[in-house]
Amino acid sequence: MNTVRLGILLTALLIASPGLRAQTDLPPSAREVLKHLEEELAEAQKKVEPAVKKAQEKTASELKKLQDHFCKEAKLDEAVAVRDQIRSLQASGDLTPLPGLPPAAREVLKSHDAEVAEIHKKAGADVGKWRDKTLAELKKQQDRYCKEAKLDEAVAIRDLIRLVKAGVTDALPDPGYVNNPATDIGKVFYFQVTGATMGGSIYGTGVFTTGSYLSMAAVHSGVLRVGEKGVVKVTILPGQVSYTASTQHGIPSFAYGGWGVSFKVERIYGFVAKAAEVKGGPGTPEKKP
């Protein structure tokens, strides 16, 4: 169960810079249209995050009532299972049902997932409206430039319209393992990823060591569901003195001691530029001593 996939509503609205006419020759008026859409997308993110957090707090409260109910009825095993579920929620936002969770508590989690899905659905509908409005405005500009015999500008906008309609992005392909060196700390990379439960190993929770498998880290972090395709943002971070093991969304991660380079995974919003080359590959995990 995934309740914190904040990026799901903004899929495939990404335009990349290198080599694309949309970024090199686009008229200023069209750039302003894109800028406005980006601002709308950012506003959508601001609204979704507190809404999901509020739903999470509501779910924790409902689970606490169940915990107290089971405790008063001397059903200790059920009370402990619900308590552990609340702790998992509060610690990591993970609402994957834990073993032994009573049916009543599972229903609470099911309702929570439906509520969050509705939040994303509404925001997604809003984003669709903004995209359609953007496309309509770009089409007007394309026709105007064409009538003014400004062919280069018209073609640039036409190409951009096609990209927006298709949801085309120049995000990099899934690198498999993220193996960036320390010189990449602070850099951001964008990847096309399909969530997976196997294929490699991951080390850490929330923040992972390099040498962790990206598609599994994305699911573990609640960014993608298993089998879901999406664009993720990977930020290369400094190393940590230790990394915590956990099981989230059905995927276990390993603990690890000090390591020189880390990364975190997020779903992205708005228009982004293509990043530099990433280090790694499906068959090249970074070796742990």
pLDDT tens profile 136-162: 999 999 999 999 999 989 988 888 887
Q: How far apart (Å, rounded) are the C-alpha atoms in residues 99 and 12?
A: 36
CATH class of the domain comprising 172-281: mainly beta
- Lookup result for tokens 């090199």: 24
DSSP 203: B
Q: Which of 76, 73, 78, 74 is nearest to 63 (CA)?
A: 78
Q: How far apart (Å, rounded) are the C-alpha atoms in residues 193 and 268?
A: 12
Residues 6+ apart with CB under 8 A from 152: 25
Q: Are 183 and 272 in contact (CB under 8 A)?
A: no
Q: Which of 251, 173, 187, 243 is nearest to 218 (CA)?
A: 251
Tokens of 282: 């499906």
Summarised one tens digit per residue, pLDDT across range 245-270 is: 999 888 999 999 999 999 999 876 44
Q: Based on the number of CB atoms within 10 Å of its own CB, is 165 exposed (0-12), middle (13-18) or buried (19 or more)?
A: exposed
Tokens of 264: 């975190």
Q: How far apart (Å, rounded) are the C-alpha atoms in residues 179 and 283?
A: 11
Q: How far apart (Å, rounded) are the C-alpha atoms in residues 82 and 79?
A: 5
Q: Are 158 and 146 in contact (CB under 8 A)?
A: no
pLDDT tens per residue, the chain (289 residues)? 333 333 333 433 433 333 333 344 678 888 888 778 777 777 777 787 788 889 989 999 999 999 999 999 999 999 999 999 998 887 766 677 888 999 999 999 999 888 888 887 787 778 778 888 888 999 999 999 999 999 989 988 888 887 777 555 557 889 999 999 999 999 988 888 899 999 999 999 999 999 999 999 999 998 888 988 878 889 999 999 999 999 988 899 999 999 999 999 987 644 443 444 556 654 455 555 4
Q: How far apart (Å, rounded) are the C-alpha atoms in residues 229 and 11?
A: 9
DSSP 173: E
List the chain domain ranges: 8-166, 172-281
Q: Is the dihedral of CA 264, 267, 272, 277 positive or negative?
A: positive
Q: Which residues pair with 189 in a beta bridge?
A: 234
Task: List, in sequence order, every beta strand (DSSP E) within 52-148.
Answer: none
